[in-house]
Chains A and B, each alone.
Chain A
């Protein structure tokens, strides 16, 4: 009998390999299995077999290679047993014969193929996110369902539908050609960013932050950076996430309440993470930065400002102007309002918000009403501010944000009961 300490160490090694290597192992196995479904099953089995095998033989020097070899052997066994099935699987790539299988360190990193398949434009955005978490990060359907606050059967159906489409419509398992790469990469980055923002400010629920999702998004961002080191937008996204997440310790007070950037204790920002992000941003602005590069540059200005008042607001306004040209969305226009207020005053900013409101594209967006309320409050137009805070409250579903808005509402309507 292995002693409990060994068992513990080995099971930690398996868990660690799950976290770090799942996507690598699955991507490499899919090439042999010819179908993602079969690959997933075999990878699952390989992780299941790892615990006993590693207890017996010790943890291998390269757990990823051991798991890949094991999963690939299983896939080949299944394919041999089901020769007819093999004929019906023109999907991914021609399965390799066992003797052609690279062994040990020679396994090529196929994770990019997997990511591009998960984020194929023929798959709905929410399913792209779910598939990426399932296949690249190895999260269970239950974990993904919890992260997005939907029921497990709903999430299972979403994932199944998407996987079925990959095989029925023959979505290819490959990195797109250079001509399609910018658009396809943008979809991948959007998925990772969506994951990050969902974790950074949870749309619903009791907690402001879902750090598990943020960690996964950072893992994916680092993976993409490793696999596509020359893509500026990949660097931009990673920098944006690092710089934004560096503020996490100061975003929520001890009592769980929301702390705005203006009031955050900057000494609690994660300096190491800021430095890592800044190093990525430095040379981005020399070329012509994309939308993630510009957002990273914006985050960098905040990250390096000694205080809120002492922030380089004119530079921020310029960066937002550039972003609004490149990515003319009403949300960007709304975010531009803050530096506009700091540079030109709350009245100018309010005019901008009212124009956005009149355009109607942000109807129901909680931050529109909240921004308007804040500007009215600064202009001492309390009654109007209170009305805007009430609108914002009716649109916010995150408890931490609701508490913040209720507090502000009380501050501008002192006579109101309750």
Chain B
């Protein structure tokens, strides 16, 4: 088994514009996602939704600035750390992951040899 980070990139404006009922729908979708991942024999090791990029603060060297690291339309809005058998299973999980206003990026976690 290997670990992958699933990064959810979406247009955050779409969420800001939504009414509470649609929020509820999104939460339910993520709940179903968690069940599906377990059912396929993989594991969610962790995950979080992030506050909007308006709350982000960037530091380069010693300079602290307001806003996200890179200004883009689709921004990192949340992530899951999952354990999967290989990239194919991780991609399968990525396809199930709700991201109606964007998409997800699947990145393998780097492993360091035990010393």
Contacts and interface: CB of A to CB of B under 8 A. Distances in A.
Contact of A84 (B1, B2, B113): B113
Nearest to A85: B113
Interface stretch (A37-45, A166-174, A212-220): A166-174
Given A122-B87, A170-B2, A88 B108 contact: no
- In which size bucket is the chain A interface? 10 to 19
A176 interface: yes
A170 B108 contact: yes
Given A170-B2, A171-B86, A88 B111 contact: yes
Interface in B81-115: 85-88, 91, 108, 110-111, 113-114
Interface string A149-186: 00000000000000000001111100010001000000
A176 B88 contact: yes
B87 A170 contact: yes
A176 B92 CA distance: 12
Contact of B2 (A90, A176, A180): A90
B4 to A, nearest CB: 8
Contacts of A172: 85-88
Contacts of B113: 84, 88
Contacts of B85: 172
Interface string A393-411: 0000000000000000000
A76 B49 CA distance: 46
Interface of chain B, main secondary structure = loop
A128 to B, nearest CB: 15
Nearest to A167: B108
Contacts of B111: 88
Nearest to B109: A168
A180 B89 CA distance: 12
A84 B115 CA distance: 10
Interface in B1-58: 1-2
Contacts of A169: 87, 108
A167 to B, nearest CB: 10
Contacts of A168: 108, 110
A253 B61 CA distance: 65
A89 to B, nearest CB: 11
Q: Which 4 A-B pairs have the closest CB atoms?
A: A172-B86, A169-B108, A170-B86, A169-B87
22 contacts: A84-B113, A84-B114, A88-B111, A88-B113, A90-B1, A90-B2, A122-B87, A168-B108, A168-B110, A169-B87, A169-B108, A170-B2, A170-B86, A170-B87, A171-B86, A171-B87, A172-B85, A172-B86, A172-B87, A172-B88, A176-B88, A180-B88
Interface of B: 1-2, 85-88, 91, 108, 110-111, 113-114
Given A120-B87, A168-B108, A169-B108, 11 more contacts: A84-B113, A88-B113, A90-B1, A122-B87, A122-B91, A168-B110, A170-B2, A172-B85, A172-B86, A172-B87, A180-B88
